[in-house]
């Protein structure tokens, strides 16, 4: 059974979008994973298919109604569905490669795409939604964030990306950012490929790549570097 993603959204037509391209799209075509989208307005009760209302206590914007969203979640993921239920939110726990690997090892995910000011807290609590953030910024809605999450997960699924080595040297997999890459031509605008990479000495190449990864991580992500040093003194 393939890894299954179910997305609840006000804009189902934007999917698969980038998820239908390149290796991720080929994985979708070959059945390595599957994607189904669910239009939130289909669960509304009134003729206008209203899904939002004004925030309790006042304030700007609108809030997604708990009864409508709960009905959608219950239909898409009944009580016996083992998949985690995620909601994309700027106040969520930051998405990490570790969490991506955990999701990739499971049966799939149900992803709720928020809109407006957010969703009623009661449905988050009642349905056990895991709030996930892709960064310290705010988007117009959760659809793009959901695509980011799904691409990060799907590329780790067996048969999607290719050789296992493609994963092992990537940023975050070993606690470090990835080292620089080069390819032909040997000289580009007076800049040469570092000689060590064309030396044929695999030991030297690996040591160079490791030193470059460590230097980049220390310079650009001191938080990751500090954690790396704690775990691997």
Rounded Cα–Cα distance for residues 151 and 16 (Å):
11
What local confidence, expressed as pLDDT, does residue 165 receive?
46
**How far is residue 228 from each of residues 88, 148, 210, measured CA to CA in Å?**
28, 25, 13
What local confidence, expressed as pLDDT, does residue 232 receive?
76
Domains of the chain: 3-154 (3.40.1280.10), 169-231 (1.10.1270.20)
Give the pLDDT confidence of 41-54 residue by residue, as tens digits. 999 999 999 999 99
Return the beta strands (E) in the chain as ranges: 3-9, 33-39, 52-53, 63-64, 85-94, 108-113, 118-119, 130-133, 187-188, 191-192
Give the pLDDT confidence of 95-104 residue by residue, as tens digits. 999 999 999 9
* CA-based torsion, 63, 37, 98, 175: positive or negative: negative
Rounded Cα–Cα distance for residues 96 and 149 (Å):
10
What local confidence, expressed as pLDDT, does residue 233 receive?
58
pTM of this structure: 0.91
What local confidence, expressed as pLDDT, does residue 163 receive?
55
What local confidence, expressed as pLDDT, does residue 102 receive?
98
Give the pLDDT confidence of 165-186 residue by residue, as tens digits. 455 666 687 899 999 999 999 9
**Which parts of the chain have pLDDT scores under 70?**
163-171, 233
What local confidence, expressed as pLDDT, does residue 172 receive?
80
CB 88 within 8 A of CB 132: yes
């Amino acid at each position: 059974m393939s890894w299954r993603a179910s997305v609840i959204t006000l804009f189902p037509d934007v999917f698969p979008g980038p998820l239908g391209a390149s290796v991720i799209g080929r994985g979708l075509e070959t059945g390595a994973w599957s994607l189904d989208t669910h239009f939130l307005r289909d669960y509304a009760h009134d003729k206008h298919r209203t899904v939002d209302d004004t925030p309790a206590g006042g304030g700007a914007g609108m809030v997604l109604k708990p009864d409508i969203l709960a009905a959608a979640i219950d239909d898409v993921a009944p009580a016996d569905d083992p998949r985690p239920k995620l909601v994309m939110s700027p106040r969520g726990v930051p998405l990490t490669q570790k969490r991506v690997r955990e999701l990739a090892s499971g049966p799939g995910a149900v992803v709720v795409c928020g809109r407006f000011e957010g969703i009623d807290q009661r449905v988050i609590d009642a349905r056990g939604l895991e709030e996930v953030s892709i960064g310290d910024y705010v988007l117009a809605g959760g659809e793009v964030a959901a695509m980011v999450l799904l691409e990060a997960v799907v590329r780790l699924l067996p048969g999607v990306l290719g050789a296992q080595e493609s994963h092992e040297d990537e940023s975050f997999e070993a606690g470090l950012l990835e080292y620089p890459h080069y390819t032909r031509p040997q000289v580009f605008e007076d800049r040469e490929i570092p000689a060590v990479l064309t030396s044929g000495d695999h030991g030297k190449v690996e040591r160079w790549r490791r030193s470059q990864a460590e230097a980049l991580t220390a310079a650009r992500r001191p938080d990751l570097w500090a954690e790396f040093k704690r775990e691997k003194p």
